[in-house]
Homo-oligomer: A and B are copies of this chain.
Amino acid sequence: MTIKEALDRIRRICKDKETSYTCYVLDKNRILEGMITVKTILMAKDEEMIDDLMDTQVIYTTTNEDKENVAKLLSKYDLFALPVVDNENRMVGIVTIDDAVDVIEDEATEDFEKMAAMLPSDRPYLESKVTTLFKNRIVWLIVLMISGIIVGEILGYYEAKIAAIPLLVTFVPMLNDTGGNCGNQSSTMVIRGLTTGDITTKDWLKVWWKEFRVSLLVSIVLASFNFIRIAFFTKAPEGVNVYMIAISVSGALFLTVILAKSVGGLLPILAKKLKLDPAVMAAPLITTLVDAAAIVIYFTFVSHLLF
């Protein structure tokens, strides 16, 4: 086909279609052979042949590809449109980048919801019914409440020590909060990286090694801060060695931070590897795991140093 024929055909066909300004060249069986932009056509001379000008290296997708992956492909190659072929390689349609924008936004919203322990919603917030919001939220709240109860039971296991030195329990919120925050930071970075494609499951060792070094630095700062605060500014009850409390708290904090960042970095990758959703798995599970571990570590120190 010559350029002149092509232009005539474009004028005829495109009248009522959503245009992408990329023309796909098909053979008789609708198999994708190449692509050529309207720009190339406009730049060419009337008698040149499409065959000579078209690009045969076409990036395309298939009808059974996940829409998130299609959006990623469009975004990665800065494409305005992507042809879609069926199982027999016949072209059946195109996806344009404005569709991808919506998919990318919806996907981010979904991840936000999942990471805040909610089922993803179909509609914008203000249009959602109260009962729908309730249903989306209550499931994970119950699961997490039960895990909070379990953490409480673990704390209850050390009741006798708390009764003897109630001061000990005042360090638990800080230990739990810090552990949770550390784990959350790591898991958020990794989940987001897995979504945008910056991180793949093959990077697990790199991720862990990075998180381990970051956690060492964080641990040193936070543990020192607490050691100094407790050793020099906290009044221990009579007969209790304040330095032993300081060592217990800062030692537990040190180990908790390292554990939290390793778990936060690796659990989302493990979830992805097991074909589970990293955003759903990570946040809630990590907090419970780290909370429970922090309490056990802390009271292990306490048992050895103070009783």
Binds B, one of A27-35, A55-63, A86-94, A136-144: A136-144
Q: How far is the CA of A213 from the CA of B213 in the complex (A)?
A: 45
**CA–CA, A151 and B189, complex, Å:** 27
Residues B14 and A196 in contact, CB atoms below 8 Å apart: no
Task: Find the B residue at minimum CB distance from A188.
Answer: B116
Within 8 A of B (CB), among A174-201: 174-178, 181-182, 184-185, 187-193, 196, 198-199
A302 CB within 8 Å of chain B? no
In the complex with contacts A109-B192, A192-B109, A217-B134, A222-B184 CB distance below 8 A: no
CB-nearest residue of chain B to A163: B166
Q: B residues within 8 A CB of A102?
A: 75
- Establish whether residues A144 and B113, one from each chain, have CB atoms under 8 Å apart when the complex forms: no
Number of interface residues of A (CB under 8 A): 101
* A300 at the B interface (CB under 8 A): no
Q: State which residues 156-180 of A face B: CB under 8 Å.
A: 156, 159-160, 162-163, 166-167, 169-178
| Contacting pair B141 A170 (CB below 8 A) | no
Q: Does A124 contact B (CB under 8 A)?
A: yes
Q: Which of B21, B137, B218, B226 contacts A38 (CB 8 A)?
A: B21
Residue pair B162, A169 in contact (C-beta under 8 Å): yes
- From the candidates B141, B151, B181, name the one contacting A218 in the complex (CB within 8 A): B141
Contact A101 B97, beta carbon cutoff 8 Å: yes
What's the number of copies of this chain in the assembled complex? 2
Q: How far is the CB of A242 from the nearest CB of chain B, in Å? A: 15
A275 within 8 A of B: no
For this complex, 23 residue pairs linking A to B, each with C-beta atoms less than 8 Å apart, are A10-B42, A11-B42, A38-B42, A80-B97, A104-B104, A109-B192, A112-B192, A116-B188, A117-B185, A124-B196, A130-B213, A131-B217, A138-B217, A141-B218, A141-B222, A144-B177, A148-B174, A149-B174, A156-B169, A159-B170, A160-B166, A162-B169, A173-B176
A152 x B174 contact (CB < 8 A) = yes
Contacts of A115 in B (CB 8 A): 112, 188
A303 to B21, CA, bound (A): 73
A3-30 CB contacts (< 8 Å) to partner B? 7, 10-11, 14-15, 19, 21
- Give the residues in chain B near A199, CB-CB below 8 Å: 125-126
Asked if B130 and A188 make an inter-chain contact with CB atoms under 8 angstroms apart, the answer reads: no
Give the 6 A-B CB pairs with smallest separation, nearest first: A148-B174, A116-B188, A148-B177, A108-B108, A156-B170, A152-B170
A222–chain B nearest beta-carbon distance, Å: 6
Closest-CB distance, A73 to chain B (whole angstroms): 12
Complex-state Cα separation, A188 to B39, whole angstroms: 44
